[in-house]
Amino acid sequence: MCSEPRAIYRFDHFTLDLVRGGLFAEDGSQVALRPKSFDLLRYMVINAGRLVDRDELMQAVWPNVFVTEDSIGQCVKDIRRALGDQTQRLLRTAQRRGYLLDVTASVVGGAPAAPLPAVAVAAAAAPLPLPTATRPMLVVLPFENLSGDPEQQYFASGLTADLVTDLTRFDELHVVSPPALAQSSATIPKEASYLVAGSVRRAEGRIRITIRLNDARTGISLWAERFDGSLGELMALQEELVDRLPAHLVIQIEREATRRSRRRPAASLDAYDLCLQGRELQLRVTEPDTLAARELFDRAIKLDSEYATAYAWQAYTVQRGFTWLWGEPKGREAAKLALRLARRAVELEPGSSLCLGRLAVILMLNHEWDEALETGRAAVQANPCAAESRYDYGDVLAHAGDPAEAEREVRLAHRLNPFHPPHWRVPLARALIRTGRWEEALAELRFCNVRMPQYIPCLQSLAAASAELGHIEEARTAVAAMLHETPGLTVRDLLERAFFRDLAMLEYHRRGFVAGGMPEGDTPLTPASP
C-alpha cells in the first residue's frame, strides 16, 4: 500500500513517521489515531496534492475487504479531529469525487536515525499545545511497566495508546500525550487541568493495572482505580479497560469541573462553565431547574455563538416546553425550536456524539423516526465510549419500536456511567414493557420514582405497568402525582404529546391512565404529530 514504508514525512505542523508508525505534533507529542485512520492518512500524505477518489482509497486501505463509504467518512473525521482541521483547510472533500490533502509533504528521513527522535527529546523543554478556551486540557502520561518484564512494555504502551485514542473522541476535552522521553513534571504545561497516569505490574501469574486522575495544579488525587486479573485473562482485561476507562475518566473530570465552576464568580464564567452548570440543573428534571438551565445556556451561546454543546443542551431544555409545557414557547412551537437548536449544534460539530445524540432524541419527539434512528446510530459510531450517546440511542430505539436493541444500548449506557441519573431507567423499563416483562419494568420504574417522584415520563409508565399487573392503587398514586404537577391534565393531553411509534405502547399507557382515574377527554389513539 505504501511505496515508501520507512519514510518520515513533514507536512503543515506535523510529522508522519512510518518508521515508528506514528503521527507527531510540532512539539514531538504523539497524536492518537485509530489504525485504519492512520493508514488512510498515510496514503493521503504519500499522495499529497493529488485528488484521491473513494474507490482508490477503498482498495488502498481495505484491500479485498468490503466496507461502506461510511468507513472512509469516519476515518476522515478522525484525521480532521487529530489535525485540528475542522475548517477542512488541510484535508478537503471534493463532493462525489474524493479527497485532497492540500499540503506539501516533504520526506525528511528513511531510517530510525532520522531527525524525529531529536524532536521528541526537544519536547522535554517545549510546551504542549494549548487547549481551546472552552475545553480543559487532559495530559495522559505513558503507563509505567513496573513488572520488571520488558515483554509487558507492549501491553503498557498499548493501554496508553488505546486510552488516548478513545479520550480524543470526547469533544469537551483537549487531550495530549507527551512522548516517553518527556515525562518529567517540568514538561507538564501550566495550562493542564488534569493528569492521567497508570502502571502495569506482573507478579505470580497475575497482572495488576492501576490508574489515577490528578489535579494538574495541586497534585491532589481526584479518582483512582485498580484492576486485577490472571495473565490468561489479559486480553479480556484489556478489552474491559478500553471499554470502561474513557467514560469513567470523563465522568470524573466533568464532576470535578462542575465543582470548580461553582467556586468561580458568576461574572467570570465562560461558555464551558455555564454549560457544565446548566447541564447539572437540567439533569434534575424539575421545572425551576430546567428554566434556570435555559438561562445559563442562553448566556453560553451569547458568549460563544459557535459553541455547539450549548445549542445541544439548550435543545433538550426547550423540548420540555412540548413534552411538559415548561417555559416558552409551549407545544408544537417548542418542538420546532428544539429541532432548530439541535440541528444548529450538529452543523457546528457534525462529528460530535453529544450533538448527534441530542438531535436524535429531538427528531424522535418530532416523529421523524427514520432520521432519528440513523442519527442515533451515527452518535454511537462517533464515540462508542460515550454513555450519553448510548443512552440517547437506546431512548430512540425504545420509542421507535426495537425493544431488544434498546435494552442492550441502555444497559451499556448504565455500565459506562455508574453514576447515571435515575431517569435513565425509564427507556429500559419501556423496552421491557414492549417485550412483556412487566415485573422487571415495574422494578426499574419504582427505582426511578423513589428518587425522582415528580418525573412525569416515569409516572406515565408506572401507571401503565401497575395497572397491567393489577396494582390499581399504585396506578392511582402515579396519576395523582401527574395531576398534582399539571392540574387539569387529561388522557388526551398526554397522548397528544406521546412519542411512541408502536400503537400497542400507546394503548398500554392509555389503559394505565384510565385505570388510575385520569379524566379521558376526547381521547385519540394516535397522537397528533408535533
CATH number at residue 384: 1.25.40.10
Residue 70 resides in a domain: yes
**pLDDT at position 295 over 90:** yes
Percent of the chain topping pLDDT 70: 84
What per-residue confidence (pLDDT) applies to 522?
Answer: 63
**pLDDT at position 283 over 70:** yes
Q: Which three cell numbers stand for residue 63?
A: 484491500
Same domain, yes or no: 90 and 22 = yes
| Strand ranges inside 157-262, DSSP E | 174-176, 192-203, 206-215, 221-230
What per-residue confidence (pLDDT) applies to 498?
Answer: 79
* Average pLDDT score, the chain: 81
Residue 119 resides in a domain: no
**pLDDT at position 508 over 90:** yes
Domain CATH for 208: 3.40.50.10070
Domain boundaries, position 441: 422-530
Q: Sorting pLDDT into bands at 50, 70 and 90, what band is 529?
A: very low
Are residues 443 and 425 in contact, defined by beta-carbon separation less than 8 angstroms?
no
What per-residue confidence (pLDDT) applies to 310?
Answer: 93
Residue 255 resides in a domain: no
Same domain, yes or no: 154 and 167 = yes
CA separation for the pair 386, 388 (Å, rounded)? 6
The average pLDDT across 82-93 equals: 83
CA separation for the pair 229, 207 (Å, rounded)? 6
The average pLDDT across 58-80 equals: 75
167 vs 364, which has greater pLDDT? 364
What per-residue confidence (pLDDT) applies to 219?
Answer: 82
Lowest mean pLDDT segment, chosen from 42-56, 230-244, 267-281: 230-244
Taking the mean position of all CA atoms in its chain, how far away is CA 284? Answer: 20
Are residues 361 and 396 in contact, defined by beta-carbon separation less than 8 angstroms?
yes
Lowest mean pLDDT segment, chosen from 146-160, 320-334, 366-380, 422-436: 146-160
Same domain, yes or no: 407 and 480 = no
Which uninterrupted H or E stretch holds 54? helix 54-61
The average pLDDT across 405-418 equals: 91
Lowest mean pLDDT segment, chosen from 36-45, 110-119, 329-338, 498-507: 110-119
Residue 252 resides in a domain: no
**pLDDT at position 418 over 50:** yes
Same domain, yes or no: 330 and 372 = no
Same domain, yes or no: 407 and 446 = no
The average pLDDT across 371-400 equals: 92
**pLDDT at position 72 over 60:** yes
**pLDDT at position 183 over 60:** no
What per-residue confidence (pLDDT) applies to 151?
Answer: 65
Q: Sorting pLDDT into bands at 50, 70 and 90, what band is 443?
A: very high
What per-residue confidence (pLDDT) applies to 370?
Answer: 92
Q: Sorting pLDDT into bands at 50, 70 and 90, what band is 391?
A: very high
The average pLDDT across 383-403 equals: 91
Residue 159 resides in a domain: yes
CA separation for the pair 335, 418 (Å, rounded)? 31
CA separation for the pair 294, 388 (Å, rounded)? 20
Most confidently predicted of 34-48, 320-334, 431-445: 431-445
Cis peptide before 403 (omega within 30 of 0): no
The average pLDDT across 46-70 equals: 77
**pLDDT at position 198 over 90:** no
Same domain, yes or no: 314 and 225 = no
Are residues 327 and 317 in contact, defined by beta-carbon separation less than 8 angstroms?
yes
Residue 89 resides in a domain: yes
The average pLDDT across 335-350 equals: 92
What per-residue confidence (pLDDT) applies to 231?
Answer: 65
CA separation for the pair 481, 151 (Å, rounded)? 62
What per-residue confidence (pLDDT) applies to 184?
Answer: 46
Query: Which of residues 83, 109, 135 is at a domain's end?
Result: 109
The average pLDDT across 183-204 equals: 73
Q: Sorting pLDDT into bands at 50, 70 and 90, what band is 110?
A: very low
Same domain, yes or no: 53 and 69 = yes
What per-residue confidence (pLDDT) applies to 437?
Answer: 95
Phi and psi at 161, nearest 5°, equal: -65, -45
Are residues 184 and 145 in contact, defined by beta-carbon separation less than 8 angstroms?
no
What per-residue confidence (pLDDT) applies to 106?
Answer: 81
Same domain, yes or no: 134 and 229 = yes
Are residues 117 and 182 in contact, defined by beta-carbon separation less than 8 angstroms?
no
Percent of the chain topping pLDDT 90: 32
Residue 287 resides in a domain: no
Residue 250 resides in a domain: no
What per-residue confidence (pLDDT) applies to 137?
Answer: 82
The average pLDDT across 501-506 equals: 89
Q: Which three cell numbers stand for residue 257?
A: 469541573
Beta-strand pair 174-176/206-215: unpaired
Same domain, yes or no: 404 and 434 = no
pLDDT per position as a tens digit, 124-135: 333 434 334 457
Domain count, the chain: 5
pTM of the model: 0.68
Angstrom CA distances, 428 to 370, 384, 529, stand at 20, 19, 24
Angstrom CA distances, 372 to 12, 72, 449, 504, stand at 38, 22, 28, 20
